[in-house]
Structure 1
Amino acid sequence: MPWKLASLGTLLAVAMLAGCSTSSTESTATDAVATETGHSRCDSKAAEFTIGKKASPELLEQARARAGAQNARILKPSDMVTLEYRSDRLNLNTDDNLVITRINCG
């Protein structure tokens, strides 16, 4: 009797764990859907034309559009930022005079 109960318990555990697993083809399909809906990564190299220029809302929008980012922000040296990484966000890092010194995504 204990062997039947142990095998039934093992079989039940395997069946439950099999329901939790995902295949790699499913994640590829969701990645393709995410790209089609516009959630893509930004390309910071496309926004390097802004380095050395004074930051402004117009320049920020031009850089965001060229980089293909969904969001963009201007970061001053004293600004506090979150530690979340977003591949669809463009960051324009400035000095104290709002001159852009560095471009990155995240």
Structure 2
Amino acid sequence: MKQAVIGLAAIGLAGCATYGADAAPDQAAAPPAPEAMICNADSAQAHIGHNATEAGGAVILKESGARTLRWGPPRSAWTMDYRQDRVNVQYDDQMKIIAITCG
């Protein structure tokens, strides 16, 4: 019984062993991620008061330098995660843009 427990423990520990520093990796290193686009909401503030449209959103996205655009309808809940490559556009019940922020 004691030998069986020791044998199982040895097998379990062997599975946790790491390879030495000279071992070759199985896969090539992943290429570096492309540099993230950083949002600058200041350059898109002129759109506040305009209608919230798909075309307007595309212009805001381009002017802000962000990678993604998130629309914020009235009375909607948003996640609080901050993303430096995202521009947020909030609008009111009349579909007028009321705020443009990054995150």
Q: Could you state the TM-score of these two structures normalised by the residue count of structure 2?
A: 0.64
Corresponding residue for residue 18 of structure 2: none
Structure 1 residue corresponding to 2:68, chosen from 56, 67, 71: 71
Question: C-alpha separation between the residues in 2 aligned to 1:38 and 1:50?
Answer: 27
Which one-letter code corresponds to 1:43 in the other structure?
Answer: N
Structure 2 residue corresponding to 1:57, chosen from 54, 58, 61: 54
Corresponding residue for residue 21 of structure 2: none
Question: C-alpha separation between the residues in 2 aligned to 1:38 and 1:100?
Answer: 29
Question: C-alpha separation between the residues in 2 aligned to 1:49 and 1:38?
Answer: 27
Which 5+ residue runs of structure 1 have no aligned equivalent? Answer: 1-32
Corresponding residue for residue 36 of structure 2: 39
Offset of 1:52 from its aligned partner? 0.5
C-alpha root-mean-square deviation of aligned residues, in Å? Answer: 1.4
Structure 2 residue corresponding to 1:102, chosen from 73, 94, 99: 99
Any idea what the Cα deviations from partners look like across 1:4-49, whole Å, max 9, x if unmatched?
Answer: xxxxxxxxxxxxxxxxxxxxxxxxxxxxx66xx2412100011112
Contact (CA 8 Å) 1:69, 1:90: kept in 2 or not? yes
Which one-letter code corresponds to 2:63 in the other structure?
Answer: R
Q: Could you state the TM-score of these two structures normalised by the residue count of structure 1?
A: 0.62
Instruction: Kindly report structure 1 stretches of 4+ aligned residues shifted beyond 4 Å.
Output: none
Which one-letter code corresponds to 1:73 in the other structure?
Answer: R
Aligned positions, number: 72
2:77 is aligned with 1:80: yes
Which one-letter code corresponds to 2:77 in the other structure?
Answer: M
Question: C-alpha separation between the residues in 2 aligned to 1:104 and 1:56?
Answer: 17
Larger radius of gyration: 2
Which 5+ residue runs of structure 2 have no aligned equivalent? Answer: 1-31
Which one-letter code corresponds to 1:60 in the other structure?
Answer: G
